[in-house]
Amino acid sequence: MTRSKPIPLDTSRYPRVAAYLDAYCDGPGAGTADEPHAAELAASIGDAQVSRQPFEIATVDDFLPADLYGDVLRDWPLLTLKPVNVGKTGSKHVGSRRSVGLQSWKPNTDDGDDTWARLARVARSAPLTRALFTRFADVIEGNLGHPDVRHITQPGFRLWANQDQGESEALGAHVDSLPKLLTIVLYLDLSGPTTNESSRRWGTTTYAIAPDEVPTVDFSPNAGRTPAGHVEFCPNRAFIMPNCSSALHGVAGGEADVTRRSLMWGYWLITPKP
């Protein structure tokens, strides 16, 4: 399959995005220009299927190369996942999610050569990041001007492995922290007694709200909201979301004995610790 060539960023139109990418390529993206598969994944972003309702999202199918995808599934049982509990002012995370952080990049990060290190390097690679931020520059440029974001200057990268399971909701409806500029969720697989509804329930549900209507990282049950759209679960499908203050989304889940496995990584602005 012939992939589209990445389009250069219009730096005069998107100065905040350009500044972020310059800093990123000197930070998390440093030394990754020739990472195996980086150019291939970057080219795939040009062929992403994009929807702009209720906010901009995209999908790319068959995202990870087959060898890396297979290694992720093979090595998953080696991970130790723990229940997630996040939120503001002590409010509990809504959902059944278990998770483990695979990388939170720092200048002295030593990647190693195992599956998770190889995944992290290609996920945070400069070619892929530049392709993503160029394709979704309109949304990201706007978010970089938001009051919650514009005072933060240091780029970051974080990668997690996530598992949702069972009758409870998987992940409550929420807006991500705005310094998380863009997220990729890579759907891995579903197991158990799935039904015709499973791909919808275990994919991502989107909701229509006004900008800043819902506080960020404030989880609420999906069952109490009216969906505006669904991104169906498909193995090795990348769900891409450039973040903004109206990007309310969640994962309904809620099927007995069904398990969803996924990866999630984000390109951040982070506040350096003293």
From first to last of its 274 residues, what are the pLDDT tens digits of the chain? Answer: 445 566 789 999 999 999 999 999 999 999 999 999 999 999 999 999 999 999 999 999 999 999 999 999 999 999 999 988 765 544 567 778 899 999 999 888 878 889 999 999 999 999 999 999 999 999 999 999 999 998 998 999 999 999 999 999 999 999 999 999 999 999 999 999 999 999 999 999 999 999 999 999 999 999 989 999 999 999 999 999 999 999 999 999 999 999 999 999 999 999 877 6
pLDDT of residue 207: 98
Question: Can you give the residue ranges of every domain in the chain?
Answer: 15-43+53-270
CA dist 205 and 240 (Å) reads 13
Dist CA 191 CA 149 (whole Å): 39
Q: What's the N-to-C CA distance of the chain in angstroms?
A: 48
Joined tokens for residue 183: 């997220």
CATH 3.90.660.10 fits 15-43+53-270, yes or no: no
Interacting residues of 87 by C-beta distance below 8 A, sequence separation 6+: 93, 217, 218, 219
Spatial separation of the C-alpha atoms in residues 190 and 250, rounded to whole Å: 17
Cβ-proximal residues to 28 (8 Å cutoff; 6+ apart), any chain: 105, 124, 129, 155, 156, 157, 267
Count CB-CB contacts under 10 A for residue 93. Answer: 17
- For tokens 């150019």, what's the residue? 39
Report yes or no on whether pTM surpasses 0.85.
Answer: yes
Query: Is there a contact between 139 and 244 (Cβ–Cβ < 8 Å)?
Result: yes
What gap in Å lies between CA 179 and CA 158, rounded to an integer? 12
pLDDT confidence of residue 1:
41
pLDDT for the residue numbered 2: 46
Q: Which residues, 6 or more positions from 1, have their beta carbon under 8 angstroms from its beta carbon? A: none
d(CA 41, CA 132): 10
3-state secondary structure at position 21: helix
